[in-house]
Structure 1
Amino acid sequence: MTHQNDYTLAEEIVEKGLDAIPELMRVLINNAMQVERAKYLQAREYERTENRKGHANGFKPKTVKTRMGEITFAVPQVREGGFYPSALEKGLRSERALTITLAEMYVQGVSTRKVKAITEQLCGVEISAMQVSRAAAQLDAVL
C-alpha cells in the first residue's frame, strides 16, 4: 500500500467517520488476501521465478454479511486451484459474531421474524429465517 493510498483512506475516515469502516475493512482484507496468494504462489503478480507454484487467475467476488452491513471482497483465484485465503472461511456468508448473536436471540425465544427485523434495523443486513435456523443449529452443536 502506498502513502497516497494511506492518505486517501485517512481522508475517507475524516469525511465519513465510522461509516468508512466497512470500506477500510474491504481494502485491508483484499490486500491481505493478495499478499497471501503471492506467498502461496511464491511469486508476485507478473513475476517470473523458478520456485513459482502456479499462476494467479483473477478474482471472484464474495459478499459477506457483517455487523457493519454487507461487504463484497475480491477473493484471489489460482489457476491450478487448491488456494483459498485464510482471511475468509469457505462457504462463509455471515460474520461469526453475527451468526452467534442470531442463534442466541433464537435460543432465548425470539421469533425468527423478530430476529430478522432486529438484524435489519441494527446492521442494515437482510437475513432469512433459514439463516437464523442454521445459526441456532450451530449453537446447539456447540452446546
Structure 2
Amino acid sequence: MLREAVRQTVTEVLQILLDADREAFLRQHEGRKNGYYPRKLETAFGQVKLAIPRDREGKYYPSLLQPYARRQVDVGEVAIALYAAGVSQRKAAEVMSLLLGHRYTHETISAITDQVLEAAEAFQKRPLPEEMAFVYL
C-alpha cells in the first residue's frame, strides 16, 4: 500500500517535471504544444505510466529522460550484483521482480548479464592512451 502511494507520487512529480520542461522548451524555441504519447518507465518504486509531452515541430524531447530509455533503475547493475553474489538466474529474476515491481524471466536476466559482461570485457581490453600511466599492485 505504501509502495503504491510512493509510486503514484513519483508519477505525479515526473509528470509535472515533464510538463514544465516542455513549457520551458516552447518558450525558448517559440513552438506549440502537440499533445502527449504514453510511455512506461521502470523506477526504483516500480513501473510508472507517463504521458510524454510533444511539440508540433517534433524537436522537443524531455531533458530528464534519455531517448528510448525504459528504466531509471539500471537493471544491468542489479543483475550483475546478483550474479556476482552467486544467485541463480531464476532466483535473480524473482528478486528483481520484487525490487522493481516488474516480472523478468531468467532468459532476460541471462541476456542482461551477458551484455554487461561483454561490455566489461571490452572495457578491460580497450587500448589505453600513451599518456596514461598506472601501477598495478
Q: Shared topology, TM-score over 0.5?
A: yes
1:103 and 1:19 map into 2 onto residues whose CA distance is 27
- The CA distance in 2 between the partners of 1:95 and 1:136, in whole Å, is 20
For the pair shown, which has the larger CA radius of gyration, 1 or 2? 2
Percent identity over the alignment is 24
Correspondent of 1:59 among 36, 41, 44: 36
In 1, the alpha carbon distance for the partners of 2:117 and 2:65 equals 20
Aligned pairs, number: 120
1:81 aligns with 2:58: yes
- Please give the secondary structure, in 1, of the residue aligned with 2:50: strand
Aligned twin of 1:21 = 6
- What's 1:32 paired with? 17
- For residues 86 and 63 of structure 1, the distance between their equivalents in structure 2, rounded to whole angstroms, comes to 17
Structure 2 unaligned blocks of 5 or more: 124-137
The answer to whether the Cα contact below 8 Å between 2:46 and 2:100 also exists between their aligned partners in 1 is yes
Gaps of at least 5 residues in structure 1 are 1-15, 44-50
TM-score by length of 2: 0.71
- Give 1:9's aligned residue: none
Q: 1:84 to 1:132 in 2, by over 3 A?
A: farther
Q: In structure 1, how many angstroms separate the alpha carbons of the residues matched to 2:40 and 2:110?
A: 18
> How far apart, CA to CA, are the structure 1 residues paired with 2:2 and 2:97?
21
Q: What TM-score results when the alignment is normalised by the length of structure 1?
A: 0.68
State the SS of the aligned residue for 2:104. Answer: coil
CA shift in 2, pair 1:75/1:131, >3 Å: farther
2:93–2:109: 8 Å Cα contact kept in structure 1? no
